[in-house]
Amino acid sequence: MDIEGIRKLNDWVRESDNIVFFGGAGVSTESGIPDFRSVDGLYHQKWKYPPEQILSHSFFERNPEEYYRFHREKLVIEGVKPNRAHLKLAELEQAGKLRAVITQNIDGLHQEAGSKKVLELHGSILRAYCSRCRKPYPQEVINHGEGVPRCSCGGVIRPDIVLYEEPLDQDIMEESVRLIRNAEVLIIGGTSLNVYPAAGLIRYYRGSRLVLVNLGETPYDSYADLVIHEKIGEVFSQITV
C-alpha cells in the first residue's frame, strides 16, 4: 500500500472543505459489478455483438430484443451493495468536506450509500421512460419483464441511461464543469478516463491537488499531483474524516 500517498491524501482531505469526486466503473467493482475495460470487464466478455455496439442508440433502435437480452443479463445485477469507497464519499459529504460526486456509473450505489449531491453523467438504470411520450417508469418494468417493454401509448420503454451516440444532459455537464473548475481538491477514482466528453471534464480543474486513485494507468497519470495505483476501497478506508 502506498503509505506516503495515503498520508498526503489525508493531509489534503483534512485541509479542505471543497473536495469534488469524479468516478467510474472501478468504484463499483468491489461491490461485485464488473467494469468495462479491465481484462475481466464487460467489453472483453464474449457476446453475440460487441457490448459497446449493443450499448448504442442505433443498436437499441434497430434491435431492442437483443438490447434487452444484454441489459437483463449484464447490466442488472441484483443484491449489489455500496462498498467502502461509496460509504467514505458519503461520510466526507456529511462532514462538509465533499461538495459533490460526479459519476459515470449508472448503478445508483452512491445515493444508496447516502451521498446527496450526485451528478449522473450517464444516467441510471434505476429509472426508465417511454421513448415516445416520455412517461416515467420504474426499473422493474424492464428488469422483471420479458422481451421489449411497451408503454400504454405503444412506445418502447427504455432505461434512463446515456447510450453511445446520445448526448449527455447539458445541465449536468455545466454543473459538473462549475464544480470541478472551483474545486480545491479533485479526486478521480476508478475510471480509465477513456470516454469523452466525461473524461474531458478533468481539464477544467485549476487547482494543484488533483488525486488519481486507479488500479490501472490512465492517459492523465502525468497530469495528476498524486497518483495511487491501488484498490479505491482499500485507499478510501484509510482516509480519516
Binding residue (CB under 6 A) for ligand APR from 29, 31, 143, 176: 29
Binding residue (CB under 6 A) for ligand APR from 10, 16, 18, 38: 38
User: 80, 107 in Cβ contact below 8 A?
Assistant: yes
What is the DSSP track for 108-161?
A: -HHHHHT-S-EEETTEEEEEEEETTT--EEETHHHHT--SS-B-TTSPBEEEEE
Which range in 130-138, 141-149, 188-196, 219-227 contacts ligand APR by CB under 6 A?
188-196
Q: Does 149 bind ligand APR (CB under 6 A)?
A: no
Which range in 90-98, 125-133, 176-184, 229-237 contacts ligand APR by CB under 6 A?
229-237
Size of residue set near ligand APR by CB under 6 A:
23
Cα separation, 121 vs 195, in Å, equals 11
Binding residue (CB under 6 A) for ligand APR from 6, 30, 120, 212: 30
Q: Does 122 bind ligand APR (CB under 6 A)?
A: yes
User: 94, 14 in Cβ contact below 8 A?
Assistant: no
Binding residue (CB under 6 A) for ligand APR from 156, 168, 215, 241: 215
Q: Does 195 bind ligand APR (CB under 6 A)?
A: yes
Of residues 122 and 151, the one with the C-beta less far from ligand APR: 122
Cα separation, 59 vs 204, in Å, equals 33
Q: Does 176 bind ligand APR (CB under 6 A)?
A: no
User: 82, 2 in Cβ contact below 8 A?
Assistant: no
Q: Does 123 bind ligand APR (CB under 6 A)?
A: no
Nearest residue to 122 via CA among 69, 162, 166: 162
Which H or E run includes 23?
A: strand 19-23
Count of Cβ atoms closer than 10 Å to residue 38 Cβ: 16
Match 498526503 to its residue by C-alpha cell: 8
Question: Minimum distance from CB of 106 to ligand APR (Å)?
Answer: 7
Of residues 104 and 124, the one with the C-beta less far from ligand APR: 104
Amino acid at 70: F
Which range in 10-18, 72-80, 88-96, 228-236 contacts ligand APR by CB under 6 A?
228-236
Binding residue (CB under 6 A) for ligand APR from 75, 90, 190, 227: 190
Question: Minimum distance from CB of 92 to ligand APR (Å)?
Answer: 17
Mark whether 122 is an active-site residue. yes
Nearest residue to 13 via CA among 190, 223, 184, 225: 184
Match 463499483 to its residue by C-alpha cell: 28
Q: Enumerate the active-site residues.
A: 122
Q: What is the contact surface with ligand APR in residues (CB under 6 A)?
A: 24-26, 29-30, 35-38, 41, 104, 122, 190-192, 194-195, 214-216, 231-233
